[in-house]
Amino acid sequence: MTLIAAAARTREHAYTPYSGYKVGAAIRSVEGRVHTGCNVENVAYPEGTCAEAGAIAAMIAAGDTRIAEAAVIADAAEPVPPCGGCRQKLAEFADPDVEITLATTRGTSRVVRVGDLLPGAFAPQHMTRD
């Protein structure tokens, strides 16, 4: 199964009673396992949690820690990029050259690299002291 297909399947489980805007994500870890996530809304946080964050949480819960590639799918006119918070999370668990496929349910897609999504990402080396 492709990452887009895994993300599309998981997208159907999104919980979006307020926006109706379902997003699915799939990550292939460097170990080769696929982890998925979808967005979840609630009354206290109606914009919800993001699909990418859910997929990363699933990856960590399964014992994997590095992303080899990822995909995100939504029902939109154009491929939708990850939000700022998810960009930082992707940068934490993926090298800058890791490819992220952004797709729509209508079949449009484009590929971006993590480093292009978040240039100048905050990284562990920023916390070192002289």
Residue 120 has pLDDT above 80, yes or no: no
Which is catalytic among the residues 52, 78, 92, 99?
Answer: 52
Percent of the chain residues past pLDDT 90, beyond the cut = 73
38 versus 122: the higher-pLDDT residue is 38
Q: Give domain 3-120's CATH number out of 3.40.50.2000, 3.40.50.300, 1.10.1200.10, 3.40.140.10.
A: 3.40.140.10
The average pLDDT across 30-51 equals 87
Q: Catalytic: 52?
A: yes
Rounded-to-integer distance, Cα 13 and Cα 8, Å: 9
**Strands, DSSP E only, in 10-128?**
23-29, 34-38, 40-42, 45-49, 67-74, 94-104, 109-113
**Which residue positions form the known binding site for substrate?**
39-45
pTM for the model stands at 0.90
- Indicate the domain borders of the chain: 3-120
Q: What is the pLDDT of residue 35?
A: 98
Condensed to tens digits (0 to 9), the pLDDT of residues 15-35 reads 999 889 999 999 999 999 999
The whole-number pLDDT of residue 52 equals 93
* Integer angstrom CA distances of residue 122 from 34, 50, 89, 119: 26, 20, 10, 9
Write the CB contacts of 19 (distance below 8 Å, at least 6 apart in sequence). Answer: 41, 46, 47, 48
Structure tokens at 89: 């999370």
pLDDT at residue 63 in the model:
97
